Amino acid sequence: MIARVIESASPRALALLAVVTAALLIAPYLVDSYVLSVLIIVLYFAYVGQAWNLMLGFAGQLSLGHALFVSLGAYTSAALFIKFGVPPVIGIFAAIAMAVVAGCLIGYLGFRFSIRGVYFALLTIAFAEFTGIIVDHISWLGASSGLFLPVKNQQSNDLLNLRGSPTMFYYVILALTGFAFALCSWLLNSKLGLYWQAIREDQEAAEASGVPLFRYKMIAVAISSGLTGIGGVWYAFYYNNLFPETMFKTSQSVEIILGSVVGGVGTLFGPILGAFVLTPLGEILTAATDGMHLDGVKSFFWGFCVAAIVLFRPQGLWPWIYDVLGLAPKKEGKR
């Protein structure tokens, strides 16, 4: 499979991929702790963006409630760790199960009752907000005052319990991002991926050609929510605190999808590129508006940039950069 990808890509694209991969692998030894913390957030959004993109970009199902899957993964693994001492390396399976069950429930209801497009997106928002309000009232999970993981100042990195230095979290999220990328590129070219793309392009035509819509849409939701749930486990152990009024909110879902949309929905590199553009942009804006004592200036420019991208680069940045850098393989023409 890898051989086929390498064969089909242009030398220039392969060189770029190699350089970026190498740079990411040695980054913690080159940059200071601030830049490392930004890179960690970039990779987190690249990872969850990739997971979200699988559902909309590949299978054509718009979810605006992915905060639910992050939160379920985070709360499940954190609660198991705090209350029962279950290490995240085991808790992650419970976290995936919770996220997948929630995803399948929403998917089942949505697809069975043929709720489509905007209505399906609103259903995902409703489930996320609803669950958030319920968790806000469960005192066992800390309710509205939040759930906290014990923070010990320890010298060694404990990978099994996900306790350690930022560098360890960096490599964990880098591995996850690489894994999600590999999985998505494999899925996209598999029979499953072709079925998804058929559904995305024209649901009626796909159904008429004998693609079992319900089954393949459910598989897309299950994989997407499961991957997002894994991201939630990482999130819980990296940030060490969880609040329902931020975790389950639509604004959190928007943050998850933003990178993919800006980078290019339905492309493999889009979510990664989008995260690498947006997170540093936010940091630069914070630095630039730091001394101005004006609330809202930063978020205004942020909104302005996103609106500009929607209006002027509606296909996302990746297809554009792909052309500008001349990454398309010469013989086959454009993909």
In whole angstroms, the minimum distance from the beta carbon of 294 to other proteins comes to: 6
Ranges of H-type helices in 293-335? 297-312, 317-324
Q: What is the dihedral of CA 277, 278, 280, 286, to 10 degrees?
A: 150
Q: CB under 8 Å to 144, separation ≥6 — which residues?
A: 136, 243, 244, 245
In whole angstroms, the minimum distance from the beta carbon of 270 to other proteins comes to: 13
| Residue number with CB closer to other proteins (163 or 217) | 217
Q: What sign does the dihedral 258-263-266-271 (CA atoms) show?
A: negative
In whole angstroms, the minimum distance from the beta carbon of 158 to other proteins comes to: 38
In whole angstroms, the minimum distance from the beta carbon of 296 to other proteins comes to: 3
In whole angstroms, the minimum distance from the beta carbon of 164 to other proteins comes to: 35
Residue 298, SS3 per DSSP:
helix
CA–CA separation, 112 vs 108, rounded Å? 6
Q: What is the DSSP track for 155-217?
A: SS-BTTTTBS-HHHHHHHHHHHHHHHHHHHHHHHHSHHHHHHHHHHH-HHHHHHTT--HHHHH
The residues of the shown chain that bind other proteins, judged by CB under 8 A, are: 56, 62, 64, 109, 113-115, 117-119, 121-123, 125-127, 129-130, 133-134, 136-137, 249-251, 254, 257-258, 261, 265, 294-300, 302-304, 306-307, 310-311, 314
Q: What is the DSSP track for 28-77?
A: HHHS-HHHHHHHHHHHHHHHHHHHHHIIIIIT----S-THHHHHHHHHHH
In whole angstroms, the minimum distance from the beta carbon of 106 to other proteins comes to: 9
**Residue pair 199/206 in contact by the 8 Å Cβ criterion:** yes
**Residue pair 278/258 in contact by the 8 Å Cβ criterion:** yes
In whole angstroms, the minimum distance from the beta carbon of 133 to other proteins comes to: 4
Which of 221, 222, 234, 226 has its CA nearest to residue 77? 234
In whole angstroms, the minimum distance from the beta carbon of 115 to other proteins comes to: 6
Residue 142, SS3 per DSSP:
coil
